[in-house]
């Protein structure tokens, strides 16, 4: 059945209105999604530059800062800072950590069971301290390749107080 000219115009007008409604609804929905996404991004906490570890009440934290100078295999030596560098030891109850710079980043090493001394691991690296010496190695590589690191006096700032 053929439609008259006014009927065809009416159908075209309805289609245009539906298309307009769909476009408006799509735009409103897009704006709502973008607003919700922006709000969700606002709720994401920013990257942290510190680490917080909850401890049992009455557990005190001991901090020891020690400077080291290392010698040994060049490829390993390049993973640590040039010259003397700082290692911070943190002990709180059964938790023992060593914090040191490796490959330009600060790594937090955790204590693991060892025969003697204090052995710490982080990522693929091992830091093993005993007395005034420590050994640095890359785990899963040649286990005989390691750096021998010795305690050194902290650098001075030009005042009577050493940097700690």
pTM of the model: 0.64
Rounded average pLDDT per 10-residue block, the chain, 164 residues: 68 52 40 46 64 81 96 93 96 93 96 90 94 90 82 77 52
Integer CA distances (angstroms), 17 to 10, 12, 13, 29, in order? 10, 9, 6, 18
Domain boundaries, the chain: 1-40, 62-152
Enter the CATH code of domain 62-152.
2.40.128.200
CB 108 within 8 A of CB 95: no
CB 73 within 8 A of CB 138: no
């Amino acid at each position: 059945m053929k439609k008259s000219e006014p009927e065809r115009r009416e159908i075209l007008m309805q289609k245009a209105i539906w298309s307009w409604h769909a476009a408006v609804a799509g735009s409103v929905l897009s704006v709502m999604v973008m607003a919700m996404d922006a709000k969700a991004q606002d709720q994401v906490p920013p990257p942290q530059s510190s680490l917080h570890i909850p401890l049992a009440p009455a557990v005190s934290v001991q901090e020891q800062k020690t400077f080291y100078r290392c010698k040994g295999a060049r490829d390993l030596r390049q993973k640590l800072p040039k010259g003397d560098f700082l290692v911070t030891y943190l002990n709180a109850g059964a938790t023992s950590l060593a914090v040191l710079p490796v490959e330009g980043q600060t790594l937090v090493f955790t204590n693991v069971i060892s025969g003697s001394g204090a052995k710490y691991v982080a990522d693929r690296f091992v830091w093993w301290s005993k007395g005034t010496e420590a050994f640095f190695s890359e785990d899963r590589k040649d286990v005989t390749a390691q750096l021998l690191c010795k305690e050194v006096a902290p650098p001075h700032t030009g005042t009577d107080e050493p940097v700690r």
